[in-house]
A = this chain, B = another copy of it.
Amino acid sequence: LIIIPGPSSQVLGKKIAELLKTETVTLHYKRFPDGESYIRLEGEIKNKSVVVVQTTSPPQDTNLMQLCLIADAARNHGAKKIIAVIPYMAYARQDKQFLPGEAVSIKTIANMLSANGITQLITVNIHAEQALKNFNFTTKNLSAIPLLAEHFKDKGYTGAFALAPDKGATKYAIEAAKILKGEYGWLQKERDRYTGQITVERKKLNVKNKDVIIFDDIISTGGTIVNAVKILKEQGARKIFTACVHPLLINDAQNKIIQSGAEEIIGTDCVPSPVSKVTVAPLIADTLKTLKE
């Protein structure tokens, strides 16, 4: 097993290699003035199982393209097997046809990866587990929610309320509550598929004078979290934290969330960001170890 830390996951890729005490391939990459990516691998790849670590947070399309370039180059240079570690999986929200005529984007991505020699995928908290049905090769979806919950437990927040900002995130709140040994709950959010308009029901939660941690997989523009923080404050919550696996934090999401009254945002290095204080390196390394044996 050798590791290629891709351009979007250089630090995480190297951490995983250190934990596994395995070699890395030196990657020469650049972008030409017109925006095209260039990839060159330096190292012995022939007959080896290669793990490419490349997250696909924004710029998603460029990160996906670089992943395909690396995989195809590794295949051309005789790799025996190519495993992609994609900590944040882009396009996973469009995992089926919601309206007639729609592209099932995650299937298109799966086709691209497969066509460039990838035969195994390891990802972390993909937005919808069912998205993995679109891949015609082995996939493994890990959860970093326990790592986030442990982070808060270590800081002394045992017993905090775990909140899912919408019903789809309830599974994360349940996972976290097991470790935090507190209650959990969720808010009801509706999205109009044509207009994109979001409405949140102002549901009664048992959060008065309690510390609350909001758990979600992705924080994108932060709108969902800001809504949740508002409702929690109205209902008398004490300290409010927000935890996510994938801190995309588009535009001024970070400021918006802090200004709405949250104490802190905690994310993982699935997506490198200023709030990525929890690392998924051991989680991924442990999974790769089982492949090694």
What residues of chain A have their CB less than 8 Å away from a CB belonging to chain B? 28, 32-43, 58-62, 64-65, 68-70, 72-73, 76-77, 90-91, 93-94, 97, 99, 101-105, 107-108, 111-112, 114-116, 220-221, 248, 250-251
Contact = CB atoms under 8 A, between A and B. Distances in A.
17 contacts: A33-B220, A33-B251, A34-B58, A35-B58, A35-B59, A35-B60, A35-B61, A36-B60, A36-B93, A36-B94, A39-B103, A39-B105, A41-B101, A69-B103, A72-B104, A72-B108, A111-B112
Q: How many chain copies does the complex carry?
A: 2
Nearest to A113: B115
Most chain B CB within a 10 A radius of its CB, from A59, A64, A93, A102:
A102
Nearest to A41: B101
A72 to B, nearest CB: 4
A248 to B, nearest CB: 5
Nearest to A62: B61
Contacts of A115: 111-112, 114-115
In this complex, the member of A59, A97, A101, A105 whose beta carbon has the largest number of chain B beta carbons within 10 angstroms is: A101
A39 B62 CA distance: 18
B101 A40 contact: yes
Contact of A69 (B34, B72, B105, B221): B105
Contact of A90 (B36, B43, B73, B102): B36
B40 A111 contact: no
A118 to B, nearest CB: 11
Contact of A72 (B34, B40, B103): B103
A250 B34 CA distance: 6
Contacts of A73: 101-104, 108
